Amino acid sequence: MSATELIARRSTTAAERSLCGWGRTASSRCRVFRPRGAQDVVEALASEARTRNGVIARGAGRSYGDAAQNGGGCVLDMTGLDRIVSIDPARRLITAQAGATVAQLMARLAAHGLTLPVVPGTRHVTLAGAIASDIHGKNHHRDGGFARHVASITLCTPTGETLELSPETDADLFYATLGGMGLTGVVLEATLHACELPSPWVAADVDRTDGLAQTLELMSGEEHHRYSVAWLDLLAEGSSMGRAIVSRADPLAADGVTPRARGRRDAGSAYPGTLSRRPAFDVPRGFPAALLRPASVRAFNALYWRLTPRRERGRQLALAPYFFPLDALGEWNRLYGPAGLIQYQFVIPSGQEVTLERCFELIRVRRLPVYLAVFKRFGAAFGGPLSFPLEGWTLAVDLPAAAPGLHAALDELDEVVAGCGGRVYLSKDSRLRREPLGAMYPQIDRFHAQRARVDPQGVLRSDLGSRLGLCGAAA
């Protein structure tokens, strides 16, 4: 088929749409094409190489910012390629197509007593989205990020090649793709190492702290648990700012689950077959943003904090509510109204705790309306030049995008974070400027070298990549 015929055929199936990330900010008009197989992807890349408008793959669109869109160009919606290709229980390996979701993978693995070693805070992301962001979970300090568990990737590049990548075949391109934000090629399928699932339950130790100093002290101790995360109240005033609910948990053996836990209302969500269910309630379109204000969130936080016991040990929790609490409410991003939300997530290296405290102080002094704050520890860095996690402390804060002074305050935070060797998470980003990027990702030249190899014409392009100068020739 000639290039003209290819473009003509695809233009009849591509639809022009406005796309944005989960934060519902920074939308752009894109031509969206939904491949039905690998050949469609190969042809789409070939024809976009000729139009020069660029192309980027998109998964479930759960990155918060503008990583999975390409204003004025093409977007490949990969959710149609969602088959689970094979499971090898003896070797604990699963192979699936790019668009299979974490929920699908977990549900299928559970039938073999297995699960994914790393999951994010929502089960609605795709396999390739997880690879492109090198996502992390509550167990990064123990098990690393997603990248550590990927055995191989099938990658389609704009030069027309379909490559089987692994650390053995092509380590440089393999690692550049893990965390590479879709800019090294289109992932068609991948093979992952799974891990044992003793039962779909965890046993959690929960502690409530009274302020930031106590929270940091508790989180800084030696961590023996597999999962560890803290919910922080950053709207509390005075010395209560930074009070937290720290939850540390371990997988629970099947024979350890008590009848009391099995009898609880949410016990049904322990069964992996329910992971693909829609939530019972969706926030409606046009939800009035005025209902979500600092005063109402502050009151909610205070109530939540007060209702949590000061110290609880071995609380048995079903898998889905523990790992994916936000999935209980459908379309919750609409709570922020038409202006949307910004999730700002950064990591500060271990040993730079003074700078971490400076970041908290900046948030307080600039009176940033942090409606949700999640604090975790990361273990050693692993993965590619654009992978986010590095050993240290990570804070993710949800902020209404329309808050006055927000962008100037975040620019200030960027400088502080970059200045101590920290970085912001590109999967959550829609606003970072180019200047601090090099300090945040000091191995960025390794990334550019791989792009020059597989995409010399700059065909792979996203709004995030163009904004940050990641798209090489066509940027």
Ligand X SMILES: Cc1cc2nc3c(=O)[nH]c(=O)nc-3n(C[C@H](O)[C@H](O)[C@H](O)COP(=O)(O)OP(=O)(O)OC[C@H]3O[C@@H](n4cnc5c(N)ncnc54)[C@H](O)[C@@H]3O)c2cc1C
| Contacting positions for ligand X (CB under 6 A) | 22, 56-63, 67-68, 78, 98, 120-122, 125-126, 128-130, 132-133, 135-137, 181-182, 186-187, 326, 427, 462
CB nearer ligand X, residue 137 or residue 337: 137
CB nearer ligand X, residue 79 or residue 199: 79
| Nearest CA among 370, 355, 367 for reference residue 417 | 355
CB of 94 to ligand X, least distance (A): 16
Could you tell me if 215 and 230 are in contact, meaning their C-beta atoms sit under 8 angstroms apart?
yes
CB of 337 to ligand X, least distance (A): 17
CB of 47 to ligand X, least distance (A): 17
CB nearer ligand X, residue 236 or residue 441: 441
CB of 136 to ligand X, least distance (A): 5
Phi then psi dihedrals of residue 407, to 5 deg: -65, -40
CB of 448 to ligand X, least distance (A): 16
β-partners of residue 209 are none
CB of 418 to ligand X, least distance (A): 20
**CA distances for 205 relative to 32, 215, 285, 308, 312, angstroms:** 45, 15, 37, 12, 6
CB nearer ligand X, residue 111 or residue 326: 326
Could you tell me if 345 and 428 are in contact, meaning their C-beta atoms sit under 8 angstroms apart?
yes
| Nearest CA among 349, 374, 310, 330 for reference residue 120 | 374
CB nearer ligand X, residue 169 or residue 258: 169
Burial 142-168 (b: 16+ CB within 10 A, else e): bbbbbbbbbebbbbbbbbeeebebeee
The two tokens of residue 270 are 């322990």
Residues 6+ apart with CB under 8 A from 306: none
CB of 187 to ligand X, least distance (A): 4
CB nearer ligand X, residue 54 or residue 337: 54
CB nearer ligand X, residue 102 or residue 235: 102
CB nearer ligand X, residue 19 or residue 410: 19
Asked whether the CA dihedral 291, 292, 295, 299 is positive or negative, the reply is positive
Could you tell me if 292 and 372 are in contact, meaning their C-beta atoms sit under 8 angstroms apart?
no
Compute the distance between CA of residue 443 and CA of residue 42 in angstroms, rounded to an integer.
Answer: 29
Other C-beta atoms lying within 10 Å of the C-beta of residue 446: 16
Compute the distance between CA of residue 300 and CA of residue 315 in angstroms, rounded to an integer.
Answer: 23
| Nearest CA among 373, 329, 382, 378 for reference residue 351 | 378
CB nearer ligand X, residue 63 or residue 115: 63
- The C-alpha angle 305, 287, 278, rounded to 5 degrees, equals 75
Start-end of H helices in 250-352: 259-262, 294-307, 319-323
Residues 6+ apart with CB under 8 A from 404: none
CB of 408 to ligand X, least distance (A): 25
Compute the distance between CA of residue 369 and CA of residue 451 in angstroms, rounded to an integer.
Answer: 38
CB nearer ligand X, residue 133 or residue 316: 133
CB of 77 to ligand X, least distance (A): 9
- H-run or E-run covering 282: strand 281-282
CB of 319 to ligand X, least distance (A): 15
CB of 161 to ligand X, least distance (A): 15
Other C-beta atoms lying within 10 Å of the C-beta of residue 315: 15
| Nearest CA among 239, 250, 240 for reference residue 313 | 250
CB nearer ligand X, residue 241 or residue 430: 430
Compute the distance between CA of residue 105 and CA of residue 84 in angstroms, rounded to an integer.
Answer: 7
CB of 176 to ligand X, least distance (A): 12
CB nearer ligand X, residue 267 or residue 319: 319
The two tokens of residue 234 are 């950053």
